[in-house]
Structure 1
Amino acid sequence: MELNNLKDAFDRVAKKQKLSCSKVQEVMDQIVQEIEKAIEMMQSTTLDHKSILAELKKKLHEIAPLAQLEGTQKELNIALSKYPKALEKTLNPDISKAYRNIEFDSHTVNQIIASHFYRQGMFDVGDCFITEAGEAEAAAAMRSLFQEMYQILEAMKSRNLEPALKWAAANSDNLKENGSDLLLGLHQLQFVKILQKGSREEALKYARTNFVPFAGNHMAEIQKLMGCLLYSDRLSESPYAHLLSPTNWDIVAEELTRQFCNLLGQSYQSPLSVTIAAGVQGLPPLLKFMTVMAGKKQEWQSMKQLPVPVELDKEFQFHSIFVCPVSKEQSTEDNPPMLMSCGHVLCKQSINKMSKNGSKTFKCPYCPSDVDAPRCRQLNF
Structure 2
Amino acid sequence: MDLASVKDTFERACRKQGVGESSTLECVERILQEVVRAVEKLSVNDADKMENARAVLAELHASVCQIAPIQDISASQKDVNVATLKYGKVLDKAFCTDIAKACRDVDWADESLCQIIAVHFYRQGLFDLGDCFVNEALGPTGASLKAPFVEMFQIVEGIKMKNLDPALTWARSHRAALMQKGSSLEFELHRLQFLQLLLKGLRPEALQYARNNFGPFSVQHMAEIQRLMCCLLWTGRLEMCPYSDLFSVWRWEEMAQRFTRECCSLLGQSYESPLNVTLAAGSQALPTLLKMATVLTSKKQEWQLLKQLPVEIELNKEFQFHSIFACPVSKDQSTAENPPMLMPCCHVLCKQSLQKLAKNRSFKCPYCPAEVTMSQCRPIYF
| Shared fold per TM-score greater than 0.5 | yes
Among 204, 209, 212, which residue is 1:206 paired with?
209
Instruction: Map Cα deviations across residues 218-270 of structure 1 (whole Å, 9 max, x no partner).
Output: 11111111111111101123222211212212222212111111111112211
- Alpha carbons of structure 1 residues 333 and 306: separation in structure 2 relative to 1, 3 Å: closer
- Give the 5 Å matches for 1:1-381: 2=1, 6=3, 88-133=92-137, 135-295=138-298, 299-324=302-327, 328-331=332-335, 335-336=339-340, 347-350=350-353, 353=356, 374-376=365-367
* Residue pair 1:324, 1:337 contacting (<8 A) in 2 also: no
Amino acid at match of 2:128: D
5+ unaligned residues in a row in structure 2: which ranges? 16-82, 369-376
Give the CA deviation at 1:348: 4.9
* Residue pair 2:203, 2:235 contacting (<8 A) in 1 also: yes
Amino acid at match of 1:95: I
Q: Distance in 1 between matches of 2:198 and 2:10?
A: 54
Give the CA deviation at 1:332: 5.5
* Residue pair 1:331, 1:337 contacting (<8 A) in 2 also: no
**TM-score normalized by the length of structure 2:** 0.68
Compare 155-164 and 84-93 and name the one that shifted more: 84-93
Give the CA deviation at 1:303: 2.7
Q: Distance in 2 between matches of 1:358 and 1:136?
A: 53
Compare 235-244 and 295-304 and name the one that shifted more: 295-304
Identity of aligned residues (%): 49
- Alpha carbons of structure 1 residues 286 and 328: separation in structure 2 relative to 1, 3 Å: farther
5+ unaligned residues in a row in structure 1: which ranges? 21-78, 340-344, 360-371
- Alpha carbons of structure 1 residues 99 and 211: separation in structure 2 relative to 1, 3 Å: same
For residue 146 of structure 2, give the secondary structure of its aligned residue in structure 1: helix
- Alpha carbons of structure 1 residues 223 and 9: separation in structure 2 relative to 1, 3 Å: farther
For residue 375 of structure 1, give the secondary structure of its aligned residue in structure 2: coil
Give the CA deviation at 1:304: 3.1
- Alpha carbons of structure 1 residues 152 and 16: separation in structure 2 relative to 1, 3 Å: same
Q: Distance in 2 between matches of 1:170 and 1:119?
A: 21
User: What CA RMSD, in Å, does the superposition of the two structures yield over aligned residues?
Assistant: 3.7
Instruction: Map Cα deviations across residues 53-85 of structure 1 (whole Å, 9 max, x no partner).
Output: xxxxxxxxxxxxxxxxxxxxxxxxxx9999877
* Residue pair 1:198, 1:232 contacting (<8 A) in 2 also: yes
Amino acid at match of 1:311: E
For residue 216 of structure 1, give the secondary structure of its aligned residue in structure 2: helix
Instruction: Map Cα deviations across residues 332-379 of structure 1 (whole Å, 9 max, x no partner).
Output: 69632799xxxxx974524764x68599xxxxxxxxxxxx96223799
Q: Distance in 2 between matches of 1:299 and 1:85?
A: 28
* Residue pair 1:116, 1:270 contacting (<8 A) in 2 also: yes
Give the CA deviation at 1:329: 4.1
Give the CA deviation at 1:136: 3.2
Equivalenced residues, count = 301
Give the CA deviation at 1:184: 0.8
**TM-score normalized by the length of structure 1:** 0.68
Give the CA deviation at 1:321: 1.3
For residue 163 of structure 2, give the secondary structure of its aligned residue in structure 1: coil
Give the CA deviation at 1:102: 2.2
Amino acid at match of 2:110: S
